[in-house]
Amino acid sequence: MTSELAAGVSGARMIELGRGECLALLAGVPLGRVGFTRQALPVIRPVNHLVDGDTVVIRTHPGSALARHTTVDEVVVYEADDLDARTRTGWSVMVTGRASLVTAPWEAARYRALLIPWTDRDVDEIVSIQADLVTGYRLLR
Amino acid sequence: MTSELAAGVSGARMIELGRGECLALLAGVPLGRVGFTRQALPVIRPVNHLVDGDTVVIRTHPGSALARHTTVDEVVVYEADDLDARTRTGWSVMVTGRASLVTAPWEAARYRALLIPWTDRDVDEIVSIQADLVTGYRLLR
């Protein structure tokens, strides 16, 4: 493309990643973005996460749109990436699956101890996202 | 919270940002994430963008789910952030609005020259997202 030639930069190759590698990459970064629908509008929220087997675990505040969604096992998406704008390389991983509130007190307490909130808001609800569909790619030169 | 005390880190204050500051922050970073619905499932895709007045402009490939969405002026979300996992400070901005294909040839060509694709995929469709709803916050300590 003219714009690429003008900039002297060719596009990177996009290599698809397998499920195992995707979950390992996700587990290696502290932060991602959860996507869901609120009042018929799409929403994206950055949050910190942990990966526990086949689930992605995040915190949210009681009464949040996300917490309400999880009461009906709504499907949400969780995306994390590490992309370098200078070299235009890196990776992105997307997990899609049902979100549910973690209600078992011992389990919720364990996750609360592992997932330190970023803000002073009350984010004591624990949401678990099943990694039903896991896709990802790496940009290589 | 116990977990916060254990880590010796208190949560940051979340300060809401005005529309002007949000759009300026967005314009200052090369990369964000577009969120929309594909076959009833939420999707998040990292892309590069530019801010042109009251619109966020991105590229996509012809035939993409996003390109198809824009033919019906579907509402999408665009999120960008700059968050530091170590200090747990930074900002996040979310723009919600109708997405539409830029069809005027001169306008599309101008955006193609400004928005260099990251990959070698054909991403010649230009999508403009109206910044109808703009929200954002800064995390301060």
Q: Where exactly are the structural domains of chain B?
A: 31-134
Nearest residue in chain A measured CA to CA from B34: A44
The DSSP line for B16-80 is: E--HHHHHHHHHT-SEEEEEEEETTEEEEEEEEEEEETTEEEEEE-TT-HHHHHHTTT-EEEEEE
- Say whether A13 and B120 touch across the interface (CB within 8 A): yes
Six token digits for residue A86: 């200078």
Which top CATH class is A11-133? mainly beta
Give the Cβ contact number of residue A1 at 10 Å: 16
The CATH superfamily assigned to B31-134 is Electron Transport, Fmn-binding Protein; Chain A (2.30.110.10)
Cα–Cα distance for residue pair B77/A132, rounded to 1 Å: 23
Mean pLDDT, chain B, rounded, equals 88
Alpha-helical segments (H) within B8-90: 19-27, 65-70
pLDDT band of residue A63 (cuts 50, 70, 90) is confident
Task: Output B26 or B125, whichever has higher pLDDT.
Answer: B26
pLDDT at A71: 67
- Say whether B42 and A42 touch across the interface (CB within 8 A): yes
Tell whether B35 lies on the interface with A, counting CB pairs under 8 A: yes
Six token digits for residue A40: 């018929």
pLDDT at B109: 95
Distance from CA of A52 to the nearest CA of B (A): 18
Contacts of A13 in chain B (CB under 8 A): 119-120
pLDDT tens-digit series, residues B53-71: 999 999 988 878 787 777 6
Chain B residues 75-94 within an 8 A CB cutoff of chain A: 75-77, 79, 81, 83, 85, 88, 92, 94
- Of A9, A113, A119, which has the smallest distance from its Cβ to B6's Cβ? A113
- Say whether A118 and B88 touch across the interface (CB within 8 A): yes
pLDDT band of residue A107 (cuts 50, 70, 90) is very high
Alpha-helical segments (H) within B28-121: 65-70, 105-114
Average pLDDT (B34-39) is 91
Cα–Cα distance for residue pair B107/A103, rounded to 1 Å: 52
Nearest residue in chain A measured CA to CA from B14: A119
